[in-house]
Structure 1
């Protein structure tokens, strides 16, 4: 069964926004001694909204088109897509900013996402919200 768009959208928003929040909280704790440095890094430009929008759009589209597999297969597929979108957005952001090595910057940001627990949080949240993806058909709806 294919997931309804509302369920897919809420799933994608929760996985994306909550994992970003986990990453920001860990970054705040890491930069606890220098809050100004964290604030400059966290809010460096308005293009910070590109990744959440792209990740939500990609995860929603994939969940609407693919059936929900087992819990961990779905979590691995969605986390891989989340990681790929993060990589593409960071490479694009670095290339637009004129960085000489945008691909290196993209992979560096993936390492940072691992250290600040953003990617592990996305995996855990994807597995946790799996129940939201599985359409539930009541017995009355089937006419039984």
Structure 2
């Protein structure tokens, strides 16, 4: 938002490229809220003609939904996770390991300040704003 340039880390796992790129383009189109940019990134990927983009979009949305279920009902999450394709779970693990490998000592400070930045820009939940994409996805697919 400060430079109006989309930033996509070229090192991220391939499964993240479609949704991350579309998320950043959503910001450039004027969608400042992280949940809205995530929603647009997800839908842009799902409705892309490329089957891999579609997969990435659905996997992205599913991950956020699973995280929300885990927060609300761990037993239900454990039941659902058993039904998820092992390849999808492998991709989730690859992403987790990527972020774990790229953690650094200043990251907690960055997250703290970035959360404050988001709050100062009308996203009252700060970093939690990203996960509010679940409500948008549920309402969209239930419509």
Larger-gyration structure (1/2)? 1
* Structure with more contact order per residue of length (Cα contacts < 8 Å, sep ≥ 6): 1
- TM-score (structure 1 length as normaliser): 0.31
